[in-house]
Amino acid sequence: MSTSTIASGFDEAALVARAKAGDAAAFSELVQRYDRRVFRMAKQITQNDDDAEDVLQETFLKAYTHLDDFQGNSKFYTWLVRIAVNEALMKLRKRRSDRTVPLDEPIDTGEDEVAREIAVWDQNPEETYSREELARILDEAIQSLKPAYRTVFVLRDIEELSIEETAEALGLSISAVKSRLLRARLQLRDKLTRQFKRKGDDAFAYL
């Protein structure tokens, strides 16, 4: 075992190889490594603790069952994300008969990139709102996005996957991910701007 592996205490490729060879303890270590991140992502998409827990269980069950299908061409977590996203979206469709934009529907915005900032105000909102209230406002805005947009935003801007990893996890082209991310960010900017304006604060009078 290399010095770097000992230092990190985690060698994903080695654990996956052991798990594929039937080592249940190795798979359990992978679960412990990623279960909180998968749950957090699932909750962002489903907006429900119980559904997120179901998604978590189904994700690792399917990952274990289809472990031989993982070829190692991407990170194991990226592969898990793709399974989890599919499970979360199925949960939404079953729960609310969601008929929003499917993940494979192309969206052409004519733009590839947008500034990473959601919005820029003349005064820092933290000077007016508590951290808890800001977190609630942002969470509600994210939850109001359609699943196709919310999923891309969660993976890219919350989970901080790269554009390429997000595209791979969702089975989308890089351009489609950029387009949806652009739409999500612009919609969030609009929702947050209107939210703060409705508060009637003088600080946002010149938005």
The domains of the chain are located at 3-96, 125-204
Q: How confident is the model at residue 199 (pLDDT cuts 50, 70, 90)?
A: low
Question: Would the pLDDT of 8 be above 60?
Answer: no
Handedness of CA 133, 139, 143, 149 (dihedral sign): positive
Question: Would the pLDDT of 58 be above 90?
Answer: yes
Fold of 3-96: Rna Polymerase Sigma Factor; Chain: A (1.10.1740)
For 133-179, write each residue's pLDDT tens digit: 777 778 888 888 888 899 999 888 888 888 998 888 888 899 999 98
Selecting from 1.10.10.10, 2.60.120.590, 3.90.70.10, 1.20.120.1200, what CATH number does the domain 125-204 have? Answer: 1.10.10.10
> Which of residues 73 and 31 earns the better pLDDT score?
31
Between CA 28 and CA 85 the distance in angstroms is 21
159-166 CB contacts, 8 Å cutoff, 24+ apart: 159/37, 159/40, 159/41, 159/81, 161/78, 161/81, 165/74, 165/75, 165/78, 165/81
- pTM of the predicted model, to two decimals? 0.61
**Crossing angle of helices 76-96 and 163-170, rounded to 10°:** 50
Between CA 83 and CA 188 the distance in angstroms is 26
> Which of residues 82 and 119 earns the better pLDDT score?
82
Residues counted in the chain: 207
Query: Residue 170 corresponds to which tokens in the numbers above?
Result: 């969702």
pLDDT averaged over the chain?
Answer: 76
